[in-house]
């Protein structure tokens, strides 16, 4: 990473478009009781993005609202200068952020089951069951994975907020599978950067209504929130860049067992992309086909995070962890294999 420029912002012909709005400030101090300091470099692909959005992509464990507050409070400097959140970046700039102390936590440690796949001094990898929310939110104050982590593991970092100890990525409540949690601030920063830079390999297994015509393919379609339904996402113009590669592992009479590799990490990405493909996931309450054959065989979303591969935050060595299919997922697949194929329409 480039260090913070000692001479401040360089106002020259090659400067980003936000140069005219820059305000000189003294360098942000090093770590202290007021909060933690983050030094990062924006990716070249961020060119043209608003600063708040570029930082939201770079720091997925922090919300865009939180980042906008830091910018407004002067806690974010680009090469020594403070700029507004709406300023456009050129990509490659050195950014320094002074994160304020976390707000008092209302997270209650709870003795909930926690299946640990792997742990060392930097990370813990867990197998999250379907039906478990990752962290507290609206309508879900407790009973989450974060509550369980607070009980089983002490002193997890709180860079993502005191209610999200060590959380660097999320799985939907209905999705089961492998999830990594950081145990130190250094690990959290490096893992968050790995997710933002797309150096994390993710493999999901899903069961879809119907079988795609091709054996494999790439869905490259932007995803954004539905304007008339803010809790749902959709493929739409103006959405965020999203890519999912998929492959049919098994064609069943009325369904398919599919492997998915999301390159990006948008909300509900695989669910929305498979619906866009014309083959929504079985058991999906938001994007699925309720009442269709096969739905009676499951009470869960048939989506499982099977494998996660990432650079270890201490050694840099690529490591991979897997979570086997849950028994109820296997049982549903077995039942679907016994269904009669759909009748062909007479001509």
**pTM of the full structure:** 0.73
Q: Edge to edge, what strands does the sheet with 76-78 contain? A: 23-24, 81-82, 76-78, 94-99, 36-41
Domain termination residue (choose one: 64, 99, 134): 99
Instruction: Verify that 205 and 291 share a domain, yes or no.
Output: yes
CA distance 100 to 75: 8
Instruction: Verify that 162 and 208 share a domain, yes or no.
Output: no
Look at residue 84 and tell me whether its pLDDT is greater than 60. yes
Domain termination residue (choose one: 196, 212, 229): 196
Look at residue 275 and tell me whether its pLDDT is greater than 60. yes
CATH label of the domain that carries residue 286: 3.30.2350.10
What pLDDT is stored for residue 104 in this prediction?
60
pLDDT tens track for 14-38? 334 443 454 545 444 444 444 678 8
CA distance 294 to 317: 42
Instruction: Verify that 86 and 138 share a domain, yes or no.
Output: no
Average pLDDT of every residue of the chain: 86
**Percent share of the chain, pLDDT over 70:** 86
What pLDDT is stored for residue 113 in this prediction?
93
Range of the domain at 148: 116-196
Is residue 109 situated within a structural domain?
Answer: no
CATH label of the domain that carries residue 54: 3.10.290.10
Give the other-Cβ count within 10 Å of 346's Cβ.
4
Q: What is the mean pLDDT of residues 133-141?
A: 83
Domain total for the chain? 3
What pLDDT is stored for residue 228 in this prediction?
84
- Least confident range from 40-44, 57-61, 69-73, 185-189: namely 57-61
pLDDT bracket for residue 99 (50, 70, 90): confident
Instruction: Verify that 225 and 258 share a domain, yes or no.
Output: yes
Whole-angstrom CA distances from 47 to 17, 18, 312 are 10, 12, 28
Is residue 9 situated within a structural domain?
Answer: no
**Percent share of the chain, pLDDT over 90:** 62
- Least confident range from 12-26, 96-110, 264-278, 317-331: namely 12-26
Catalytic residue among 52, 163, 172, 284: 172
Domain termination residue (choose one: 174, 196, 218): 196
Respond yes or no: is residue 284 known to be catalytic.
Answer: no
Look at residue 156 and tell me whether its pLDDT is greater than 50. yes
Is residue 11 situated within a structural domain?
Answer: no
Look at residue 262 and tell me whether its pLDDT is greater than 50. yes
């Amino acid at each position: 990473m480039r260090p913070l420029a000692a001479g401040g912002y360089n106002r020259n012909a090659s400067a980003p478009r936000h140069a005219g709005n820059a305000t000189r400030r003294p360098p942000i101090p090093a770590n202290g009781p007021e909060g933690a300091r983050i030094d990062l470099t924006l990716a070249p692909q961020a060119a043209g993005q608003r600063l708040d959005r570029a930082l939201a992509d770079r720091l997925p464990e922090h919300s865009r609202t939180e980042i906008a507050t830091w910018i407004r409070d002067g806690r974010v400097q680009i090469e020594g200068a403070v700029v507004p959140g709406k300023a456009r970046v050129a990509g490659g700039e050195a950014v320094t952020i002074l994160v304020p102390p976390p707000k008092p936590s209302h997270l209650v440690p709870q003795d909930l089951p926690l299946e640990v796949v792997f742990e060392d001094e930097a990370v813990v990898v867990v197998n999250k069951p379907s039906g478990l929310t990752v962290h507290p939110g609206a309508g879900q104050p407790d009973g989450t994975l974060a509550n369980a982590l607070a009980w089983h593991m002490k002193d997890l970092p709180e860079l993502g907020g005191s209610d999200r100890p060590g959380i660097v990525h999320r799985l939907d409540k209905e999705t089961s599978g492998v999830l990594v949690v950081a145990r130190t601030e250094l690990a959290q920063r490096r893992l968050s950067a790995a997710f933002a830079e797309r150096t994390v390999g993710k493999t999901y297994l899903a069961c879809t209504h119907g079988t795609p015509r091709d054996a494999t393919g790439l869905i490259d379609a932007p995803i954004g929130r539905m304007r008339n339904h803010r809790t749902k996402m959709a493929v739409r113009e103006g959405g965020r860049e999203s890519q999912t590669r998929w492959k049919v592992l098994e064609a069943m009479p009325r369904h398919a067992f599919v492997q998915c590799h999301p390159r990006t990490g948008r909300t509900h990405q695989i669910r929305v992309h498979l619906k866009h493909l014309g083959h929504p996931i079985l058991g999906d309450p938001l994007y699925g086909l309720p009442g269709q054959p096969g739905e009676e065989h499951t009470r869960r979303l048939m989506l499982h995070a099977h494998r996660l591969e990432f650079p270890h935050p201490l050694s840099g060595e690529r490591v991979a962890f897997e979570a086997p299919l849950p028994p109820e997922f296997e049982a549903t697949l077995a039942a679907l294999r016994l269904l009669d194929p759909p009748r062909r329409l007479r001509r």
